[in-house]
Amino acid sequence: MLKILIKDEIDSLVAEELKKRGFLVQEGDNRLESIFQEVQQSEILIVRSTTRVTKKVIDAALQTGLLKVIIRAGVGVDNIEVDYARAKGIKVFNTPEASSISVAELALAHMFVLARKMIPANFTMRQGEWNKNKFLGVELSCKTLGIIGMGRIGQVLGQKAGALGMRIIYCDVINHEGIDGSWQYLSLQEVLRQADIISIHASAEGSDGYLIDEPQFKIMKKSAFIINTARGKLVNEEALLNALEKRDIAGAGIDVYCEEPCKNIALLQHERISVTPHIGASTREAQFKIGLEIIRLIEEYQKSKNCEEQE
């Protein structure tokens, strides 16, 4: 019987559906360190972003040789030593399409929050103040949105932002197919220079240093907002705070952090930063679709395994 370890919290229906299909499902201990023993008893490991599948975890699994598949319930796999796992004969999968709409909508939500100064407006109202004339915002319509990384999420965001009347410019290291012909491809430097709002949807895998650091903030418009719903290590948080203090940029929307849970109090409490606790894929719809994709991957693995045993 196929043994599956679900280490991080995912849609509860996933475990139920897998059990109905005859798989032996174990929901992991809340302690992260218990994974070293758990992977020795599991053929498939399912994680989200909390659990780090390091070389030590993989080496622990190799002691029994039972672990054959790691599934990341989400897009990024930077919490998994992918190359090392594959070199040891362990397959690694993710679910890249399931959360595209949810992440794109969160990026849009941060844009609205910043554009309409909803953080200080909300806070002061809760303090009993009525500062109707203090919060002069801007419209998103006719603004230029610069998307860094025009993959699935970037394209969904571009479509939604275009419907709001925004001009779309973008940069990417990959030439993706099917991109709207009205969107303009530019260098990273030109995207940063021209955009009123910059939204990051790039991968952090294999990256050296920060994608956005002090020199990049200097290029941006002083009225610009930057949104990061991709990976925390793409943006230098101290450089971001300095840029805000020096008024080099107007604000930021952040869902991902260099360290999670984030302990950077200056970042979390800054009045011109909209913060959320890595909730890009945290919608009912995204989690349901992620669950369906996980089940499909496991069933495909089972079929492949059965075929190999019959040969």
Residues serving a catalytic function are: 231, 260, 278
Q: Which two tokens stand for residue 25?
A: 């499902």
DSSP 13-76: HHHHHHHHTT-EEEEPPSSGGGHHHHGGG-SEEEE-SSS-B-HHHHHHHHTTT---EEEESSS-
Bridge-based pairing state of the strands 167-171 and 144-148 = parallel
How far apart are the two ends of the chain, measured CA to CA in Å? 19
Type of residue numbered 222: K
Question: If 0-12 CB within 10 Å is exposed, 13-18 middle and 19+ buried, where does residue 307 land?
Answer: exposed
Q: Are 227 and 107 in contact (CB under 8 A)?
A: yes
Name the strand (E) or helix (H) holding 155: helix 152-163
Cβ neighbours, 10 Å, residue 155: 22
Q: Tokens 């200080």 appear where?
A: 120
